[in-house]
């Protein structure tokens, strides 16, 4: 059986070899990743200052917080003497009770005035009918003028009594309104006393680590005096100083916002992180720019504040 011959074009072979060589050439032209290494210092991303909202003398200090240096959300750290505040609070509560009783009393006056208005209205209606009936009789000559004058007098008295009852009702309503205003003022004063009373207890705003927490029972403090600082242990950052040439580097290892890094401790442990802030001003003499790296929250609690670490840039997937 005859075998088929395969003819190969020289141009086809050359083009195939050239196409295979293109990826290799492109790979050689791509800049190689060159990691940068920096010395960094661990800091807290946010530190909150704690201070006294009011003055007074310390009567209690949280022993667990002082021993461990750790606080939980809402935990009472320091208590100030509350004798005067307790008395003011109880006085405000008694004042509220008195004002509430006054409002109830004014409501009773309104109820009585409304009942009086209704009675006077019924009386006026009755006298009005009597006056109309006697007026018809007077025109027919069935009653004399003296009798008619008596009926007119009773109608005038009924009109006057009805108007007076309405005025009494309006006065009662006005008195209740004033009593309600006084009650509202008393409630605001009570809220103010409650706020002042709560200010005697210094509480932790969130769970975190305390810095400089050293109050003593018996010490008297002023409003605004600093007690301590607190920070969340899982929210840490690393401060580094980056050279300008590393920021403007053309290769993929140039430092940019979001660039991943590896944070190495002296014991060999490491954490992940990424650049979150790069300063806008370089040091005039050494051309360093202060920058910040956010540490992964999973391993941040293990790092100490002011701990010296080594930071190495990693290839950016983006």
Q: Is there a single domain that holds both residue 119 and residue 150?
A: yes
Please tell me whether residues 68 and 209 are part of one structural domain: yes
- Two structure tokens written together for 39: 């010395």
Q: Are residues 172 and 239 in the same domain?
A: no
CATH of the domain at 248: 2.40.30.170
The reported pLDDT for the residue numbered 247 is: 82
**Whether 92 contacts 193, CB under 8 Å:** yes
Is residue 129 located within the same domain as residue 278?
no
Average pLDDT, the chain: 87
Indicate whether 156 and 297 sit together in one domain: no
Lowest-confidence range among 143-147, 167-171, 271-275, 308-312? 143-147
95 and 172 part of one domain? yes
Q: What is the percentage of the chain residues whose pLDDT exceeds 90?
A: 65
- Chain centroid offset of residue 195 CA: 16
Q: Are 263 and 238 in contact (CB under 8 A)?
A: yes
Number of separate domains in the chain: 3
> Are 137 and 278 in the same domain?
no
* Residues whose CB falls within 8 Å of the CB of residue 154, separated by 6 or more in sequence, listed in order: 127, 130, 131
The pLDDT of residue 29 is: 54
Cα gap 211→48, rounded to integer Å:
10
Question: Could you write out the DSSP letters of every residue in the chain?
Answer: -PPPP----HHHHHHHHHHHHHHHHHHHHSPPP---EEEEEEEES-EEEEE-SS-EEEEEE-HHHHHH-EE-TT-EEEEE--HHHHHHHHHHHHHHHHHHHHHHHHHHHHHHHHHHHHHHHHHHHHHHHHHHHHHHHHHTTSS-HHHHHHHHHHHHHHHHHHHHHHHHHHHHHHHHHHHHHHHHHHHHHHHHHHHHHHTTEEE-SSSEEEES----TT-EE-TT-EEEEEE-TT-EEEEEEEEHHHHS-SSTTS--TT-EEEEE-TTS-EEEEEEEEEEEEE-TTT-EEEEEEEEPTTTGGGSPTT-EEEEEE-----
Q: Is residue 62 part of a domain?
A: yes
- Checking if the pLDDT of 1 tops 60, the result is no
Structure confidence at residue 134 as a pLDDT band (50, 70, 90): confident
Are the C-beta atoms of residues 69 and 209 closer than 8 Å to each other?
Answer: yes
Tens of pLDDT, residue by residue over 238-286, are 999 998 888 876 555 568 888 899 999 999 999 999 999 999 898 888 8
For residue 36, the model assigns a pLDDT of 87
Q: What is the pLDDT of residue 252?
A: 58
Q: Are residue 209 and residue 236 in the same domain, yes or no?
A: no
Question: In terms of domains, do 214 and 131 share one?
Answer: no
Indicate if the pLDDT at residue 58 is higher than 50: yes
CATH of the domain at 127: 1.10.287.1700
Q: Are residues 93 and 77 in the same domain?
A: no
Q: Looking at the structure, tell me whether residues 88 and 187 fall in a common domain.
A: yes
Angle at CA of residue 164, ends 162 and 170, nearest 5°: 105
pLDDT at 149 over 90: no
Q: Report the predicted TM-score, pTM, of the whole model to 2 decimal places.
A: 0.66
In 3D space, the residue among 238, 246, 239, 237 whose CA is nearest the CA of residue 287 turns out to be: 246
Q: Which of 11-25, 99-113, 155-169 has the lowest mean pLDDT?
A: 11-25
* 4-51 per-position pLDDT tens digit: 444 444 444 444 444 444 444 444 555 566 788 999 999 999 999 999
pLDDT digits (tens, 9 = 90+) for 59-95: 999 999 999 999 999 999 999 999 999 999 999 999 9
Enclosing domain of residue 256: 33-45+232-313
Q: State whether 72 and 142 are in the same domain.
A: no
């Amino acid at each position: 059986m005859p075998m088929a011959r395969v003819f190969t074009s020289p141009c086809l072979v050359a083009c195939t070899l050239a196409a295979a060589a293109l990826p290799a050439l492109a790979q050689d032209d791509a800049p190689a990743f060159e990691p940068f290494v920096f010395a960094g210092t661990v800091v807290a991303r946010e530190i909150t200052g704690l201070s006294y909202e009011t003055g007074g003398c310390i009567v209690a200090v949280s022993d667990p917080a002082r021993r461990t240096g750790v606080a939980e959300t809402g935990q009472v750290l320091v208590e100030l003497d509350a004798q005067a505040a307790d008395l003011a609070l109880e006085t405000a509560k008694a004042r509220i009770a008195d004002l509430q009783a006054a409002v109830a009393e004014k409501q009773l006056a309104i109820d009585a005035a409304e009942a009086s208005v209704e009675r006077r209205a019924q009386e006026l209606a009755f006298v009005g009918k009597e006056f109309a009936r006697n007026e018809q009789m007077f025109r027919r000559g069935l009653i004399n003028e003296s009798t008619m004058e008596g009926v007119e007098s009773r109608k005038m008295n009924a009109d006057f009594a009805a108007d007076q009852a309405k005025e009494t009702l309006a006065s009662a309503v006005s008195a209740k309104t004033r009593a309600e205003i006084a009650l509202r003022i008393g409630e605001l004063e009570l809220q103010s006393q409650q706020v002042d009373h709560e200010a005697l207890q210094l509480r932790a705003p969130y769970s975190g680590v305390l810095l400089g927490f050293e109050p003593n029972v018996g010490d008297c403090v002023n409003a605004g005096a600093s007690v301590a600082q607190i920070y969340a242990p899982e929210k840490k950052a690393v401060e580094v100083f980056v050279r300008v040439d590393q920021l403007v580097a053309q290769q993929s290892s140039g430092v940019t916002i979001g660039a991943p890094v590896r944070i190495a401790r002296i014991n060999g442990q490491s954490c992940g992180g990424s650049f979150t802030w790069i300063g806008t001003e370089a040091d005039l003499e050494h051309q360093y720019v202060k920058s910040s790296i956010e540490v992964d929250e999973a391993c941040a609690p293990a790092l100490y504040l002011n701990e010296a670490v080594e930071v190495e840039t990693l290839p950016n997937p983006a």
